[in-house]
Amino acid sequence: MKKHLLRTFGLAAALTLSTFAVQAQTGWVFEGCWNPFPTGTCYDVYRDASGNYWKCKACGTTTNPSPKTCGQVNPNSFGYWCS
């Protein structure tokens, strides 16, 4: 019974660490909320490890930013940072 319990605990710990490592490897940093227009929905903007900016879901709702869930954008050339 103890071996089974230790094996289960070890597996759970390994999966948790693997998930954390995958999220940490992305290197994406939240920059703020941004909108390409003066009014309307503000979006989460993240910067990746290469310095590229990505517009994701509505401000405060992005959980796992990635190229699959966000679109590349240049918020410094146009648009508005939301307060």
Q: Which residue type sits at 18?
A: S
Split at pLDDT 50, 70, 90, the class of 2 is very low
Q: Which residue range forms the structural domain that includes residue 65?
A: 26-83
Strand (E) positions, the chain?
A: 29-35, 43-47, 53-58, 71-73, 80-81
Residues in the chain: 83
- 15 in a structural domain: no
Question: Does pTM surpass 0.95?
Answer: no
pLDDT of residue 76: 85
Question: What's the pLDDT tens digit per position in 24-81?
Answer: 346 999 999 999 999 999 999 999 999 999 999 999 999 999 999 999 999 888 899 9
* Number of domains forming the structure of the chain: 1
Asked whether residue 20 is assigned to any structural domain, the reply reads no
Residue 3 lies in a domain: no
Q: What mean pLDDT do residues 9-37 have?
A: 60
What's the rounded Cα separation, in Å, for the pair 65 and 26?
9
